[in-house]
Amino acid sequence: MSDQMVKTMMEDPDDSLIVLSGCGTSGRLAFLIASGFNRELRQLNQMSVCSYIIAGGDRALLSSQEAPEDDPRLGVLSLKKVCEGKKRVLFIGISCGLSAPFVAGQLDFCLQDPEVYTPVLVGFNPAHQARDEPMPGCTFTFFSVVQRMQELAKSHMAFLINPTVGPEAISGSSRMKGGSATKLLLEVVFSAGHAAAFSHTPITYEGILQYMRAYETAVNITYAHREGITALVESAGQSLQRGRCVCYLGWGSLALLGLIDASECNPTFGADFGDIRGFISGGYRQLNNNEGPLASLGPEFYIAHEDFLLLVLPNLSDQDTVVLIYTHSDDVSEVVKMACLVREKTSILHAVCHQTDGDTAASVLNSIPSFSQQWELSTKLVLNAVSTGAHVLKGKIYQNHMIDVQVTNSKLYHRATRLLQKLSGCPESRCEEALLKVLYQMDELSADITSSDITTHTRTARNRSRVVPLALVCLLTGCSLVEAESYLELQPIIREAIALIDKA
């Protein structure tokens, strides 16, 4: 049904708009999918019909901006702004965990004006597990919004797309399975709508299944290249273990997957922006984001190959890993030129190359059949494996949890407290206390601090690093914050730091 809606919107682009919105990687995928779809429409000389919203604006495409995710009003304001003057809006809110207040605010707003807005929610939790925590200034919760949508879904006035895809391999990392499922589902919906609008292909169950099977093939072909992926993960891991970096140099839309994967490493693993970086041929011109070039915001936002050549390449050594990401239809002579320049500095050079025939270009991946969206998915899977695997090797995962998670919004604050409880076995109050002691860098908490709200704590967390690892070491060993800091400095792998303390 939502594919029928997509078709209707495409047939009347003047008055209609499809808006995809999300936070963090869900917003980045909203951008990727909307851009890809608009590009296809332009190729057919049709008007663009898609817009994207990402909490925190375009800087969140490339860097971690968790705080705006907590703000439902901000979500509404940004939605109103993009929809100005439109008579019909298909709003697609993405929240893998059915949890982001930013998206809940937007859905609630759509539900109040059904004449104009048709809300769709994409996520990967069962509806009864939607977040039911009060949100500042709101009478609704994510859960209550989901309940209202379920009711309206019966009459097709709202849509809930929430298949359960199972737990993530690394707990807390919805960027992986959840992100891939978002991309796959929405692209299937859009492709079906597109084919119905422009080639009069009826939308059928079989047709949808066929799209999904193409992605299944892409997944199978990708993972058939296990050895290549393993080699890539190992060299990226070694680079990170030695304090060196991994650079993704991409061409076309695949480069976006590199930018996205790199941007996720800071909030997910507490990585520095220089640890894993993405660059795109054509820079912001190719990115074509709403707010245009962002390089003036600082080095984190330097994304063009020219920036790489000028600022990163001169400092590369043979302990850094570089990954070239391209397809046979990109300008391969440019890729070769880049490869030669990189080779002068490091021999750890890999390629993720997609092609439709038996080309012999150095590649980890060959012969992914057909469309760029499948190549994108395949690239996403490979890069997610590389950045996750490399951080596992660096010791950033503890008992299958992303332990060095940022504590920069309410969801992450609660997640950090729960994680400490689970891993230390201590009661919630002691875990929260340990978390606050690290955040405020003191061994005794003042009444001022304990009475402050979560927003104050998460704001303070922006300037802190290794918050959860430090709190966990304090809880497990009983040592002071200063001691925990010096042990983790000496031995960043928590398990081994704890063993050191036990021996001392």
Q: Is 24 in the site for ligand F6P (CB under 6 A)?
A: yes
Task: Assess 67 for contact with ligand F6P (CB under 6 A).
Answer: no
Residue 176 touching ligand F6P (CB under 6 A): no
Name the residue type at position 239.
S
Tell me the window of 18-26, 186-194, 220-228, 435-443 that interacts with ligand F6P (CB under 6 A).
Answer: 18-26
Q: Which residue has the CB atom at the shortest distance from ligand F6P?
A: 24
Distance of closest approach, residue 182 Cβ to ligand F6P, in angstroms: 8
Out of 281, 409, 417, 458, point to the residue binding ligand F6P (CB under 6 A): 409
Q: What are the E-state strand segments in 195-336?
A: 246-250, 276-280, 321-327
* Residue matched to tokens 């000389």: 45
SS3 letters across 217-248: HHHHHHHCCHHHHHHHHHHHHHHHHCCCCEEE
- Quick check: 32 binds ligand F6P (CB under 6 A)? no
> Which is nearest to 27 in space by CA: 342, 270, 256, 356?
256
Rounded CA separation 59/86 (Å): 26
Is position 69 an interface residue for ligand F6P (rule: CB under 6 A)?
A: yes
Query: Quick one: tokens of 403?
Result: 């332990």
- Rule CB under 6 A: say whether 72 interacts with ligand F6P: no
Judged on CB neighbours under 10 Å (0-12, 13-18, 19+), 182 is buried
Instruction: Give the binding range for ligand F6P (CB under 6 A) out of 163-171, 202-210, 367-375, 404-412.
Output: 404-412
**Site residues for ligand F6P, window 415-474 (CB under 6 A)?**
none
CB of 238 to ligand F6P, least distance (A): 26
CB of 64 to ligand F6P, least distance (A): 8
Does 95 sit near ligand F6P (CB under 6 A)?
A: yes
Which of 175, 183, 277, 401 binds ligand F6P (CB under 6 A)? It is 175
Closest approach, Cβ 476 to ligand F6P, in A, equals: 25
> Does 387 participate in binding ligand F6P (rule CB under 6 A)?
no
Helix (H) or strand (E) holding 186: helix 177-198
Our finding on whether 267 is near ligand F6P (CB under 6 A) is: yes
Does 271 bind ligand F6P (CB under 6 A)? Our answer is no
User: CB–CB of 281/255 below 8 Å?
Assistant: yes
Which C-beta is closer to ligand F6P: that of 415 or that of 466?
A: 415
Q: What gap in Å lies between CA 39 and CA 34, rounded to an integer? A: 8
The helix, strand and coil proportions of the chain, stated in percent and rounded to the nearest 5, come to: 55, 10, 35
* Contacting range for ligand F6P; rule: CB under 6 A; set: 95-103, 150-158, 218-226, 443-451: 95-103
Q: How far is the CB of 124 from ligand F6P (least distance, A)?
A: 8
Does residue 63 interact with ligand F6P by CB under 6 A? no
183 in contact with ligand F6P (CB under 6 A): no
Nearest to 467 by CA among 452, 485, 453: 485
Instruction: Tell whether residue 70 is a contact of ligand F6P (CB under 6 A).
Output: no
Residue 218 CA to chain centroid, in angstroms? 20
CA dist list (Å): 12 to 7, 40, 86, 120, 332:
9, 16, 11, 19, 39
Query: Should residue 174 be labelled a site residue for ligand F6P when binding is judged by CB under 6 A?
Result: yes
Residues binding ligand F6P (CB under 6 A):
22-26, 66, 69, 94-97, 99-100, 174-175, 267, 409, 411-412
